[in-house]
Structures are given as structure tokens and as C-alpha cells.
A and B are shown apart, each in its own frame.
Chain A
């Protein structure tokens, strides 16, 4: 039976053109036709040239992870072949430009040599259509109906009929060319359900979530891999009566977002590690003055400038602990593209409810990978607004009233008559600067009490998802974009008879302590998986719940694959 769930990887020098777009187009066409897709891309940090690659896992069943290695490798040049050959799975397929790539004899795989560029130039007189031809070829080889690709081309070039015609020809040529190859591999897509689904990246989902949550002010400074959030907000917000501004630096970005939120408009900024470092002083202000604000950190490999186009989950310490003085902040981390949308809405809701900064940790892989997802249920995404001092006489109003929940009503300039000064200085309940010890004690407790109230709200399955065996002996704890790989590994381990379970955390501060303790009580060994060197979540858990987990860390700029997680599970179960 042919394999109907497989990974296609496409690689080549960006100077050849269309490496990434070959994959993106093919993915979009497949998803529109009802297939489920999960992409991953990485590109050079250089401005022009350099090796880029893209991969899509595709199936007629839902896919939740990047998959293992690749099953089909499309090599546009020799470098692509050399870099990715070792990732090609046994019985895989190598499709290569036979003028540029010279593969070694290879018994385990199926080889299809096609002179992509020469065909495009000689047969079509359309060198720029090389990648379009390859899309047609892939469709023909693996069973994606040509109409799916033609539909995308029609949409894209609807105002340029000549170019459209050229592209259609290239698609058809590639599709028909398959007849000249003798199909002898084991991959064929099954029948798709033809249900149109969303195809989105993590960054796009964050934008949608923010707009739904009521964000109407965005400020940002360009930085990889967060810049496309700024660009999308710049396009969308003005139409909605909102404001998006590119600022002179990240400091100004967060400063102006805090100003906007103080003035009653929900506000956000998005950055990566270097920007978060610059914003740190203002995080303390937002927490001290109790001003809601959302900060997205699309993590990249650090430290310093690090590897801007590669992922890492290494900003957790900074998000949890960065800044001077004791101050509460909330840290959330989505696990998938769908979760990016939901957790961004939650980030705004938590910021509004608890009047403090909320940091949403995404990462480069999640920022730019696309997934197919179902239309979210809007009713399940309620939007919360901050508490206001309605009906209170201005003389009675205390902006920083020491309440049971820690939350006090926040007046909005121009709309509420209860004026106050939001202070960076320690202050009494009115917000007046008071620098005496007892007041600092009282107000520090008040501010941190909000986190305890928040902890009660998030301590449950909605923010800490458990997968696997109820009677598991081995427990995995994970956070962020590795969720799909962990979940898939657990499913595969269960199928092999291993007793494992996983707990995936979506809120990292405050931690859902009861849920974590309950999970820990029921397993004998615990493994914490994360893409960083120091084991940052493992550290945090050691401090908060006193465990010494087995640390499974990966660095190097690539995400965990389900196979890697499964191998770790087997290693721990079989060899202790």
C-alpha cells in the first residue's frame, strides 16, 4: 500500500529563485484541496544567495508535527543534495535537476533525474517557470490533482493573463512529464475530503488573535523573525481605526504600547530576543504601574545576534526573570499555529484582567511554519476588558486599592473622571509616591497577589494539556512549539506498548502548580524537553516544584522531530 503521509523537502540556492515558493504554492494548493499540511522552512540570514530549504508534511489525515527526516527530496542544486541526502528516509525519493546534481549510486532510494531548468528554457522558453514546472511534476508524481495548482495560479495572476498562460503551461508540462518517468516509488496521496481549511503561519495567527482580542495599537521595530507581525499590523490596523507605528527602536515600541494601553487602547509589540533585552526596563514599569500590555517574543537562536533565522527556546529565563526588582509578569507559550491564535487572545485577556505585562513566547519555527487548521469557534474565544472604576466618586477612587484579588479598577483618561498618576515609583493606594518600608511591603504583596489569582484561573487542562496513558510511568513535560512532536511521539510510544504521558504547558508564569504536582505524583520518571542548552524550564520547575527531571535538550537551530522524542522515550524506559 502506498504511503499517504509523507514529507517533501525542497532545497537549493536562493539565487536560483523560487525554492521556497515552490513549496509554498504546492502546500497552499494541497490545503485548498482538503489535504492537511505542516511546513517548516529555513533560509539564510544573508540578503542575497545562500542555501534555503522548505519542507511540507502532507496527508489526507490531520498532521500535528514536522515529521521525521524527509521522504521526498527535491534538489535544485548539488549543495541541496549533499546537505539533505542524509535526512532522506529509507525507500525515499530523490528528484533532482539532472544537469546540476550528480547523485552517487544509491540503492535504497528512487531517483528521478529531470533537467528542470533546461526543460523550462528549451521547451517552455520560460526559465522563471522552473519552479512552476517542478510543482506540476510533484503533483503528477504524488497524486495532487493539477486543478488544485491551476486554481492558485489563476488567483495569483488574474490581472496578468500572459503570465498566467505561461504558468499554466509550465504546470501542465511538469504534470505530463511524469509519464516519461517510470513511477516506481511508494508514495501517493489518498483522497482528500475537499473541505477548505485555513493555512496560516504562527505569526499570521498571532495577528488574527490580537485583532480579535481588540488590539488597536501596535508598535514595533523590524527584527527577524517577528517583522511580518509588524507588516501585517501596519496593513490591518488603520482600516480598523487603530494605529501601527514602526518606531526608532524596541524601547520606543514598548514605551508607546504602554502609553497607548494607559490611554485605554489594547496594545502590543512583537520582537525577538535582542529586542526583548532592550525592552526589559519598560517591563518593570508596566508591572509597577499596572498597565496591561502584550509582548510577543518570536525566539531565535542566541545569544547576542546569534542565528537570526534559526529557532531556539532560550529566552525563557529572560521572560520569567529578566529585569530589576521583584515584579510580576505573565508568560505564555503557544504550542501550534492554532494555539498562537488562541493564546494571543488569552494573552490580551490575562493582561487586561491582571493589569500587567504578558509575554508570549513563540519561536522562529512556529513564526514561519504553516499549518492547516479548522476555522476556530469564535464563541470559544471570549474577549475580556479591564476593570474600570464605574460610578465611583473621584475623591473615593484609589487606583491601586489593595484588594483581595490584587486587582484594582483602572481609570481611562478622558473617559473616566477619576484622575491618577501611573507611577514608576513605589506608591500608596492612590498612586502617590511613598517610599516607606511598610508601603513597599503592602504594595509588593498586592502586585504579586494578582499572580496567585491568575494561577487559580490557569491551573487546569485548558492551559496545561495532558496526553497519553493514565497509568504512565514515564512523564514528559514540554512547552512551546515542540508540542506536536511530543504528542506524536507519545502516540507512537503508546502504540508500541510504552506507558508514557505528556504534560504540555501553555502558561509558564504563574505555573499551574496543582496540575503539575498531580502529573508528577502519577509518574515515576520525568523528562523535560526543550530547545535550549541550559534546560530553562527544567530549572524553573526545579525551583517551583522541587523536581530534578531528566533534561532532554536540543540546540542547533532545528526543532525536535517525533522520532527523536520517541528515541529518548525508548532510551529512558529501556536503559533507565
Chain B
């Protein structure tokens, strides 16, 4: 019989990455970058040993937004673009829960873009994993807000005329307190970024290049360009992080920026610590009599 010290070191029921996998099989195409992101997410949760029922994964619509179904945690597969406000409600109602948002470039940079600056500015304590394949995979290959200028897709036969939106720059400009970038072909590094993102108290934004093999295969492009952050990178320097996000010759991976500042729920509880029971009669007498 193991004594308590041994049990503490090595819990008999330690969760493994596999435990976070559901019985639903992913519907993604073979070779899709999202497999790498999903397994990195399993791994990150196992690293942190967060009980399955204390995790809520919220998503919108798109290939990557199917992620919650493939996880054995709680999840909410909502409507297109609204994962961030739904997750905001989950977290503010229940600060004890670990809340992840998983979605794509269409969900978070197009239809749902209006919510990103607000979730970031409020510093809602959630981790947003944006799987960027630069295309609309689920609707079969239209251009997305992160498609490269000139990209010829079904909906843009003469090429995309808009410059691609830079998600890392957008998150930094919005005031996100944790901003990182990963690559689905480097799942171990990505898992570590997700671990750090979850541990960060506040709004964590993790931009992940996750190529679409079917409609916009960019593996070669990113394999050539991804690189680690410069040595001795100071992740607390916002201006330097913005400069790095603007770099076009290389695609840097790692934690661009991190800032410790109270999350929305912490500020709320600091400002209004009082907690009393509601009693209708007393309330009406005090306010309306």
C-alpha cells in the first residue's frame, strides 16, 4: 500500500493526454494542422492535471471550432464569431473554471473580430487558441482575413485585394496580457505555450499557424520561415513585441508579450467585495417604499 507521500508525488489517477480525448473522431482532413493543435491542447491539460469537468472549451463555427466535440471536457459549440463573449460569460460567472476558446481566422478575425479587443481590454481570464489556416475550410476554400494579398481563392478569382490582418499585432494592440505564436507542426512547443497561456491570469491569445492541406497548403512556407524568438527575449516589452509582430521575413514562435495585471473578475471582486444574500422584502422596503 502506497503511503500518502508517494500518492501525492504520483497520483494513482494522474490524467494523461489521452484522457482529454472524447469518443467523437475528428472530422478533419488527413494532414490538417488542427490535429497538431488538438493534441497539444490535450497535452497541455494533462501537464496541468486539470480535472476534465473543470474545463470548458468554447468555440464558434469553422473546422477548428469543431474542437470541443473531440474533447472529454465540458464544451460549448456556439454560433459563428461569438465564442469570446460566450466564454466571457462562462468565466465571469464561474471564475473557478478553466476556459479555453478554440477557433479559426474566420471566426476570430472576420465575423467575431469585434469581440477580440473587448475580451482583451477587459482582461478576461481565458485562453484563446486561434488556429489560423488563412482560408475558410469548412465552406471549401474561400479567402479569409488572413489570406495573403493576391491569393486566388474561389471567392476571389482575381486575387485577394485586402492586406492580411496580423493577429498577433491585433492582440497586442487590443491590450491582451499574454500573446504568443505557435505552429501546428511543432506540437511540443505549442503545448508548452498553451500551458503558459492557461497559467497566465488574464486574457491569453495564442496565434497558431495551422495549415489547410486541402485549400491552402502553407506547410512549406512556414517550415522555411518559422524561427524561435531572439535570444534573451524580454517578454515584458510591448514596443519590442509590436516590432517583432511586424517582421515579415521570419515567423517568430514563442511568447511575444506578457503582463501581470488584475483580470476582470479580480478587479470586480476588489471593487465590490461585499457578498450578501438577497431578501426581496428587505430590498423592496429599502429601495421602493
Interface pair A265/B93, CB less than 8 Å apart: yes
A409 contact set on B, CB distance < 8 A: none
Interface pair B90/A260, CB less than 8 Å apart: yes
Indicate whether A124 reaches chain B with its CB closer than 8 angstroms. Answer: no
B33 to chain A, nearest CB (A): 21
Indicate whether A543 reaches chain B with its CB closer than 8 angstroms. Answer: no
| CB nearest to A199 among chain B residues | B288
Which residues of B (76-113) have their CB < 8 Å from a CB of A? 76-79, 82, 84-94, 96-97
| CB nearest to A216 among chain B residues | B93
B63 to chain A, nearest CB (A): 13
Which residues of A (145-181) have their CB < 8 Å from a CB of B? none
Task: Name B275's contact: one of A239, A259, A411 (CB within 8 Å).
Answer: A239
Which residues of A (234-280) have their CB < 8 Å from a CB of B? 238-241, 243, 245, 247-249, 251-253, 255-265, 267
A247 contact set on B, CB distance < 8 A: 85, 118
B55 contact set on A, CB distance < 8 A: 413
Indicate whether A289 reaches chain B with its CB closer than 8 angstroms. Answer: yes
Number of interface residues of B (CB under 8 A): 58
Indicate whether A282 reaches chain B with its CB closer than 8 angstroms. Answer: yes
Interface pair A255/B289, CB less than 8 Å apart: no
Interface pair B281/A378, CB less than 8 Å apart: yes
Q: List 16 A-B contacts (CB under 8 A).
A: A208-B283, A211-B280, A241-B275, A245-B88, A255-B86, A259-B93, A260-B92, A262-B86, A413-B54, A413-B97, A414-B53, A421-B75, A423-B77, A424-B61, A432-B24, A432-B69
Q: What CA separation (Å) do A418 and B74 show in the bound complex?
A: 8
Task: Name A414's contact: one of B61, B75, B94 (CB within 8 Å).
Answer: B94
In the complex, the number of residue pairs spanning A and B with C-beta atoms less than 8 Å apart equals: 181
Most chain A C-beta atoms within 10 Å of own C-beta, residue among B87, B285, B288: B288
Interface pair A422/B76, CB less than 8 Å apart: yes
Indicate whether A1 reaches chain B with its CB closer than 8 angstroms. Answer: no
Flag the segment in B198-206, B226-234, B266-274 that touches A: B266-274
Known: A197-B289, A240-B276, A282-B82. A422 touches B75 (CB 8 A): yes
Q: What CA separation (Å) do A243 and B90 show in the bound complex?
A: 11
| CB nearest to B272 among chain A residues | A238
Q: What CA separation (Å) do A264 and B288 show in the bound complex?
A: 30
Q: A252-B88, A260-B94, A378-B281 known; 9 other A-B pairs, CB under 8 Å?
A: A240-B276, A243-B265, A252-B82, A260-B93, A262-B86, A413-B55, A417-B53, A419-B72, A422-B77
A30 to chain B, nearest CB (A): 14
B151 to chain A, nearest CB (A): 29
Task: Name A255's contact: one of B57, B85, B94, B271 (CB within 8 Å).
Answer: B85
| CB nearest to B23 among chain A residues | A432
A267 contact set on B, CB distance < 8 A: 89, 93
Q: What CA separation (Å) do A419 and B68 show in the bound complex?
A: 11
B21 to chain A, nearest CB (A): 12
Indicate whether A381 reaches chain B with its CB closer than 8 angstroms. Answer: yes
Q: What CA separation (Å) do A248 and B71 show in the bound complex?
A: 30
Indicate whether A468 reaches chain B with its CB closer than 8 angstroms. Answer: no
B76 contact set on A, CB distance < 8 A: 259, 262, 289, 421-422
Indicate whether A558 reaches chain B with its CB closer than 8 angstroms. Answer: no
Give 1 or 0 for each of B107-123: 1 = CB within 8 Å of chain A CB: 00000001100100010
Interface pair A256/B85, CB less than 8 Å apart: yes
| CB nearest to B70 among chain A residues | A421
Q: What CA separation (Å) do A213 and B241 show in the bound complex?
A: 47
Interface pair B85/A252, CB less than 8 Å apart: yes
B283 contact set on A, CB distance < 8 A: 208, 211-212
Indicate whether B56 reaches chain A with its CB closer than 8 angstroms. Answer: yes
B245 to chain A, nearest CB (A): 24
Interface pair A420/B93, CB less than 8 Å apart: no
A234 to chain B, nearest CB (A): 10
A436 contact set on B, CB distance < 8 A: none
Interface pair A262/B280, CB less than 8 Å apart: no
Most chain B C-beta atoms within 10 Å of own C-beta, residue among A197, A208, A251, A255: A255
Most chain B C-beta atoms within 10 Å of own C-beta, residue among A243, A260, A284: A243
Known: A198-B288, A378-B281. A264 touches B93 (CB 8 A): yes
Give 1 or 0 for each of B45-62: 1 = CB within 8 Å of chain A CB: 000000011111110010
Interface pair B79/A419, CB less than 8 Å apart: no
Task: Name A419's contact: one of B24, B73, B271, B285 (CB within 8 Å).
Answer: B73
Indicate whether B12 reaches chain A with its CB closer than 8 angstroms. Answer: no
Indicate whether B278 reaches chain A with its CB closer than 8 angstroms. Answer: yes
Task: Name B89's contact: one of A238, A257, A378 (CB within 8 Å).
Answer: A257
Known: A198-B288, A424-B79. A211 touches B92 (CB 8 A): no
Indicate whether A8 reaches chain B with its CB closer than 8 angstroms. Answer: no
Q: What CA separation (Å) do A187 and B284 show in the bound complex?
A: 32
Most chain B C-beta atoms within 10 Å of own C-beta, residue among A252, A260, A281, A423: A252
Interface pair A255/B89, CB less than 8 Å apart: yes
Interface pair A414/B54, CB less than 8 Å apart: yes
B7 to chain A, nearest CB (A): 21
Nearest first, the 6 A-B pairs at minimum CB distance are A259-B89, A238-B272, A256-B89, A260-B93, A421-B75, A255-B85
B73 contact set on A, CB distance < 8 A: 419
Task: Name A421's contact: one of B74, B93, B281, B289 (CB within 8 Å).
Answer: B74
Interface pair A376/B79, CB less than 8 Å apart: no
Interface pair A251/B92, CB less than 8 Å apart: no
Task: Name A248's contact: one of B66, B74, B115, B278 (CB within 8 Å).
Answer: B115
Known: A217-B93, A289-B76. A433 touches B280 (CB 8 A): no
Indicate whether A285 reaches chain B with its CB closer than 8 angstroms. Answer: yes
| CB nearest to B76 among chain A residues | A422
Indicate whether A191 reaches chain B with its CB closer than 8 angstroms. Answer: no
Q: What CA separation (Å) do A195 and B16 show in the bound complex?
A: 67
Most chain B C-beta atoms within 10 Å of own C-beta, residue among A212, A284, A411, A421: A421
Indicate whether A416 reaches chain B with its CB closer than 8 angstroms. Answer: yes
A545 contact set on B, CB distance < 8 A: none
Known: A241-B275, A285-B78, A417-B53. A376 touches B93 (CB 8 A): no
Interface pair A239/B93, CB less than 8 Å apart: no
Indicate whether A375 reaches chain B with its CB closer than 8 angstroms. Answer: yes
Interface pair A378/B280, CB less than 8 Å apart: yes
Q: What CA separation (Å) do A282 and B268 show in the bound complex?
A: 26
| CB nearest to A259 among chain B residues | B89
Interface pair A198/B289, CB less than 8 Å apart: yes
Interface pair A419/B77, CB less than 8 Å apart: no
Indicate whether A70 reaches chain B with its CB closer than 8 angstroms. Answer: no
Give 1 or 0 for each of B242-282: 1 = CB within 8 Å of chain A CB: 00000000000000000000000100100110111110110
Indicate whether A573 reaches chain B with its CB closer than 8 angstroms. Answer: no
B85 to chain A, nearest CB (A): 4
Indicate whether A572 reaches chain B with its CB closer than 8 angstroms. Answer: no
Task: Name B118's contact: one of A200, A248, A259, A411 (CB within 8 Å).
Answer: A248
Q: What CA separation (Å) do A176 and B82 show in the bound complex?
A: 63
